[in-house]
Amino acid sequence: MTTLEIMGAKAKEASRFLMTAGSKKDDALLAIAKALREHSEEIIKANSIDIKNGEEAGLTVSLLDRLRLDEARIEGMAVGVEQVAALPDPVGRVLDGRTLKNGLKIQKVSVPMGVIGIIYEARPNVTSDAAALCLKAGNAVILRGGKEAINSNTAIMAVMREAVKNVGFPEDCVALVTDTTRQSATELMQLSEYLDVLIPRGGAGLIQSVVNNSKVPVIETGVGNCHVYVDDSADIKMAADIVFNAKTSRPSVCNAIETVLVHADIADKALPAIKAELDKMNVEIRGCERTKQILGDSIIPATEDDYAREFLDYILAIKVVDSIDDAIAHIAKYSSGHSESIVTSDYRNADKFTSCVDSAAVYVNASTRFTDGGEFGLGAEIGISTQKLHARGPMGLNELTSNKYVIHGDGQIR
């Protein structure tokens, strides 16, 4: 057996323990939170090696910031684990039930998925977040982070494995692939004998690689080419405020918008107001010809590629459209299926937009930045699913479970 196959077999065995762990899962999570605090100094020391290597490799300032750990961030990780422990147990919920004419009592019950694999990139806090969510949902987890954070992830995983072991759990409930070569990622994608589901968290390249190459069932998450459509009946100040928030509050996340569509009948008034807000953060605007005519030569001509891109930066594409139908068609062509918003005072247009736009989250008169498990009141999340099978939208604890039917009888035969 290969190293990963051995890891998979151990995780599968650990998952059987977790099936009946019940409230003891909270003990394990609280032990992890305590251990993160107690071992923060050694985690930061390991993280400093990653930071140094990242600087030498020429990582951008934003990537280095996502990679960096300090006492405050480790405290945030510990608090996050404690918050997961405080959430209701998603396992054992009776989702449906009935008694048949023959007396059989049927219940549909939530159960753990089993073993979850997660491939992610440079954020070491994902290591504790993902492990906590999977454990709470009764799943063993195999994590495979990026090379940029390998020292941090290794230190965090060592702390977590020791913590769960100290409260009587198999340490293989949580595991980390320390080989960060492409070969290990490929092998993890083929581990269908042991993994029940694989979740990629990261950029479009990573996600598409997993989707296209995995033999393990995949839940696709993360990529967000999100839109705001400003309808002809929109309140212009509201539209400008929503666009500004959705683009600039945190442009590097998947629920930030990348394109604004503006109805032609309101464009002369709405576009200058929107630009005035965006100028406060020096947002680069790439617009269609009609946008340039209204806003002037400071607008960079938008290409077809611009409407399809997830900029994750202070860059925004704008297009003037002739109708709500044109806006819906544009979104259908370019959207990644994450989050879209309409700003309107017309109830019929709001209803049409929410009915016809096929994304995980569709807003009326609100920023797309709310697409988040915490903001939705779901607690922590593993990511935002942009597919339709099994889970869609913020993936909280309930989405990390499956279900089975439990049938009680008293001798019935067919």
* pLDDT digit string, tens, across residues 327-369: 999 999 999 999 999 999 999 999 999 999 999 999 999 999 9
Q: Within 10 Å of residue 203's Cβ, how many Cβ atoms? A: 16
344, 400: one domain: no
Predicted confidence (pLDDT) at residue 22 exceeds the cutoff of 90: yes
Q: Is residue 413 part of a domain?
A: no
Q: Is residue 124 part of a domain?
A: yes
For the segment 48-52, the average pLDDT, to the nearest whole number, is 97
Output the pLDDT for position 312. Answer: 87
For the segment 220-234, the average pLDDT, to the nearest whole number, is 92
236, 324: one domain: yes
The torsion of the CA quartet 241, 247, 250, 251, rounded to 10 degrees, works out to -170
170, 127: one domain: yes
User: Domain of 18: which CATH number?
Assistant: 3.40.605.10
Q: Is residue 376 part of a domain?
A: no
Output the pLDDT for position 203. Answer: 76
186, 54: one domain: yes
Q: Is residue 375 part of a domain?
A: no
Predicted confidence (pLDDT) at residue 321 exceeds the cutoff of 90: yes
* pTM passes above 0.95: no
CA gap 311, 159 in Å, rounded = 36
**154 torsion bin: left (phi>0), alpha (psi -120 to 50), beta (else):** alpha
63, 130: one domain: yes
How many domains does one find in the chain?
Answer: 2
Nearest to 301 by CA among 319, 313, 283: 319
Q: Encode pLDDT of 234-263 as tens digits.
A: 999 999 999 999 999 989 889 999 999 999
Q: Dihedrals φ, ψ of 124, to 5°? A: -65, -20
Output the pLDDT for position 377. Answer: 80
Mean pLDDT score of the chain: 95
Tokens standing for residue 332: 């259908």
In contact, 138 and 18? CB cutoff 8 Å: yes
Contacts 24+ apart (CB under 8 A), 344-350: 344/231, 344/233, 344/234, 345/231, 345/233, 345/234, 345/235, 346/231, 346/233, 349/231, 349/233, 349/324
- Check residue 249 and report its DSSP letter: S
Output the pLDDT for position 223. Answer: 79
Q: State the residue range of the domain holding 52.
A: 3-221+382-408
